[in-house]
Chain A
Amino acid sequence: MNAAADPGAGRVLDADVGVVGAGPAGLAAAGSLARAGLSVVVLDEGQRAGGQIFRQPSPRVAGCGAAPPSHRRGRGLLAAFAQSGARLCSGVTVWDARPGRLWFEQAAESWLVRCERVLLAPGAYDRSIPFPGWTLPGVVTAGALQIMGRAGVVPGKRALVAGSGPLLLPTVAALLGAGVQVVAALEASPRSSAWRALPGLLGHGGRRAEAFWYLRKLLGARVRLRSGWTLFGCEGEDRVQRALIGKVDAEGRPRRDTARSIEVDVVGAGFGLVPSIELGLLLGCRSRCDPRRGGHCLDVDGEQRTSVPTVFAAGEVCGIGGAEVAIAEGELAAAAIVKDLRGVPVPPALAVAAARERRAADRLLGCFPPLPGLCDLATADTIVCRCEDVRLEQTRAAAALHGRSLRAIKVGCRAGMGPCQGRICGPSLQALANGLPGQPADLPVVQVPVKPVRVQTVLDAPRG
């Protein structure tokens, strides 16, 4: 591996494998690859390796033992990765990709990784569903509130967590660890979902220990997770001060007669996760839509290879499944790449383990199906696209005039054309604009750069 000055102003890194993402999948894969003797460059947007799930608590919340059992595994992965010899580039933005090529920006520098194989492990982000007041400061995603809780920086004393799926638990636990009162924890799915999820939780050693750890935290703080409830809206002057909560029916439709107002300082809302497939689409990888796994995800074969032969994918980008799936798929992808480049066969046990973890995750997440009725939370003047301040009624007018496709709605009202490039509003934009809750979304429209970068970064980009 060497870094050389290019004829252009940008710089070039040569490696056997370029890995995107230093979460569980990327760390597991990169460690395995480096130990097999391959040169590896890992590109990560975060400031520290570990991704979102293995973020370590900050000194502000020291002393409360705030890390769940799975974090021991995370620390082990991080330590093994640090000793493996893989090269980590943190705080970078990957903005363009071709098979064997990854262009990224680090600080104000433009870089190119040239590699034999690309492994995509970019993870996922929170699925948001617009509701009145969701743009108020202090109203954030469940993932964001978890990050702030673990950092011990939650302003105020009263937090509300709402949404759907297993990820609400770590958010509540992070807040409790930071000494914040959780005034309500609302799971939109009916109570039967949680009961159906039980066998999946109890039948899997790691997940059982994790679930018990979270439930002990909740019970200790007398926080009850209320099923069949959600957040109807938020109000306040320049920051959230009140939340309107109430019951929903089995499909998530708000029952307005049950609404009541509570005082809050911060709100975290998250309705599952969305796989981050943009780079995969840019690389030409085939995708498929699986609502149970978060919607559009990259399609891979039994050894994590995408439809592009030199591009592999592992973890949430192949469908939401959690850290155990990500680690198993990362190790399998690494073994398949070692097979390609060194001729060493893939140990069959790795494929078996990855498939087993994936089946268990599918069973668990299948208990929390998307709730189409939650599309009724937004009212005509609710902002849908946060970047361009496009309101629901404007998206409906655009759909009526220009057509029902994601592209037509974007062109018609600019929703999804801001700097987030539709990552936040895109997954629910069509269902909202067309008034067809439950309508599967078109594939996101991706273009270069897949994330905003400096113009100079593009001008300096090494060719080749």
Chain B
Amino acid sequence: MTDAERTAVEFTFAGAPVRAWSGDTVAMALWAAGHLALRRSSRDGAARGVFCSMGVCYDCLVRVDGETLRACTTLVRAGMLVEPGGKP
């Protein structure tokens, strides 16, 4: 995808609208919008977010239209519903 082909995309995270560019990962879009805390640890309840940004650590798990995915390896799509995730 060249820069000229990138278009504005809007989706929601935890109910709030997020504006991004096609070609962004969900992790990039959420960082750009200032959303650093992407989920709560299922064990101690502490906030967690992106850590490795390259698909290794699974700390940025979110639910995208109901499916648990890594925010850093998932590209944004217009209208997608992103919710805080949880590690299994």
Contacts and interface: CB of A to CB of B under 8 A. Distances in A.
B62 to A, nearest CB: 13
A130 to B, nearest CB: 12
Nearest to A153: B32
B52 A148 contact: no
B70 to A, nearest CB: 9
Given A47-B75, A155-B31, A137 B47 contact: yes
Contacts of B58: 387, 418-420, 452
Interface in A138-166: 138-141, 143-144, 147-148, 151-155
Interface string B41-55: 101101111111111
A52 B72 CA distance: 13
Interface in B47-88: 47-59, 61, 72-73, 75, 87-88
A144 B52 contact: yes
Given A47-B25, A389-B43, A147 B54 contact: yes
A126 B24 CA distance: 22
A143 B21 contact: no
A58 interface: yes
A251 interface: no
B53 A144 contact: yes
Contacts, number: 116
Nearest to A386: B59
Given A143-B54, A147-B54, A420-B56, A135 B32 contact: no
Contacts of B14: none
Contacts of B52: 125-126, 140-141, 143-144, 424
Interface in A119-145: 125-126, 135-141, 143-144
B34 interface: yes
A457 to B, nearest CB: 13
B32 A140 contact: no
* B24, B47, B57 pick with most chain A CB within 10 angstroms: B57
Interface residues of A, number: 40
A420 B57 contact: yes
Given A144-B54, A420-B56, A153 B49 contact: no
Contacts of A138: 36, 49
Interface in A408-464: 418-420, 423-424, 452
Contacts of A424: 51-52, 56-57
Contacts of B53: 140-141, 143-144, 147-148
Contacts of B55: 45-46
B31 A386 contact: no
A362 interface: no
A117 to B, nearest CB: 25
Interface in B14-41: 21, 23-25, 28-29, 31-32, 34, 36-38, 41
Contacts of B72: 144
A64 to B, nearest CB: 14
A221 B24 CA distance: 28
A239 interface: yes
Given A47-B75, A155-B31, A389 B56 contact: no
Contacts of A262: none
A135 B47 CA distance: 8
Contacts of A288: none
A153 B29 contact: yes
21 contacts: A52-B54, A58-B21, A58-B28, A59-B3, A126-B52, A137-B36, A137-B50, A143-B53, A144-B51, A148-B28, A151-B28, A151-B32, A153-B28, A153-B31, A153-B32, A387-B59, A389-B43, A389-B44, A418-B58, A419-B87, A424-B56
For the complex of A and B, 9 pairs with smallest distance between CB atoms = A137-B49, A144-B53, A137-B36, A153-B32, A419-B58, A389-B43, A238-B47, A59-B3, A137-B37
